[in-house]
């Protein structure tokens, strides 16, 4: 936990951008009966019946200190999808960075090994040299600020019915471009001092340490 909080406490440095990464499944739903159009003072009205069109996945990457984020919609959340996101971070989003300080959870696909499954060894190693992994602890994924971005995205965009992967990608691209234009940032206030005070029960006590010896 303190490792992640130490990353958050570091000042902005474009050579070492701090990026949070997380993902969210999305159920694709299509209308059976066309929704009624918007009217003044009245929201769009949907029929209660819908048709399931499968599922998709959203990968969310955000840089809280600068108010930047990007969202990628994919059909799956396999190791290769994660590896491609890592390559995008290195080659497209932060090509000038010396190293990216990456905060993410312990999902089984979120590992350096995923890159070796997806790419030849030389390419995997090239990408991994630019990534500095910082994992949230078990049951501590709330420490990942990308979860805050996902919560906002879900509330603002994902309550509507979205039938196709292409439509989902258009929706999340529009949302991320709007928030990037505003440079919407996250005001993160929880630090190591807070953790040691408010979560003291999670730290080993002196009695526990003595008993172990």
Angle at 41 between CA 35 and CA 47, to 5 degrees: 20
Domain positions in the chain are 2-212
Mean pLDDT along residues 48-57:
84
Q: 2-212 maps to which CATH number?
A: 3.30.420.10
| pTM recorded for the entire structure | 0.85
Q: What local confidence, expressed as pLDDT, does residue 140 receive?
A: 84
Mean pLDDT along residues 18-29:
95
Give 45's pLDDT tier (boundaries 50, 70, 90).
low
Residue 176, class by beta-carbon neighbours within 10 Å (0-12 exposed, 13-18 middle, 19+ buried)? Answer: buried
Mean pLDDT of the residues in the chain? 89
Least confident of 47-51, 109-113, 170-174: 47-51
Give 166's pLDDT tier (boundaries 50, 70, 90).
very high
Mean pLDDT along residues 97-122:
96
Instruction: Retrieve residue 30's tokens.
Output: 């299509």
pLDDT > 60? residue 209? no
pLDDT > 80? residue 195? no
* Residue 207: C-alpha distances to residues 182, 195, 203, 210, 213 (Å): 50, 20, 11, 5, 10
Q: Are 27 and 151 in contact (CB under 8 A)?
A: no
Least confident of 1-5, 136-140, 154-158, 199-203: 199-203
Q: Are 20 and 64 in contact (CB under 8 A)?
A: yes
Q: What is the DSSP letter of 15?
A: T
């Amino acid at each position: 936990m303190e490792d992640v909080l130490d990353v958050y406490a570091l000042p902005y440095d474009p050579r070492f951008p701090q990026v949070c990464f997380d993902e969210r499944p999305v159920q694709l739903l299509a209308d059976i009966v066309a929704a009624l159009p918007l009217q003044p003072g009245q929201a769009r009205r949907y029929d209660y019946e819908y048709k399931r069109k499968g599922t998709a996945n959203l990968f969310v990457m955000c840089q809280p200190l600068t108010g930047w984020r990007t969202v990628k919609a994919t059909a799956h959340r396999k190791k290769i999808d994660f590896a491609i996101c890592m390559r995008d971070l290195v080659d497209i989003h932060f090509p000038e960075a010396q190293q990216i300080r990456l905060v993410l959870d312990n999902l089984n696909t979120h590992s350096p090994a995923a890159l070796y499954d997806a790419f030849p060894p030389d390419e995997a190693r090239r990408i991994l040299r630019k990534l500095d992994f910082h994992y949230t602890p078990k049951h501590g994924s709330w420490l990942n600020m990308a979860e805050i971005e996902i919560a906002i995205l879900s509330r603002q965009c994902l309550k509507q019915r979205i039938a196709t992967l292409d439509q989902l990608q258009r929706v999340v691209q529009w949302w991320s471009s709007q928030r990037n234009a505003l440079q919407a940032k996250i005001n993160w206030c929880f630090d190591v001092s807070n953790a040691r005070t408010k979560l003291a029960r999670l730290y080993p006590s002196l009695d526990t340490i003595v008993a172990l010896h």
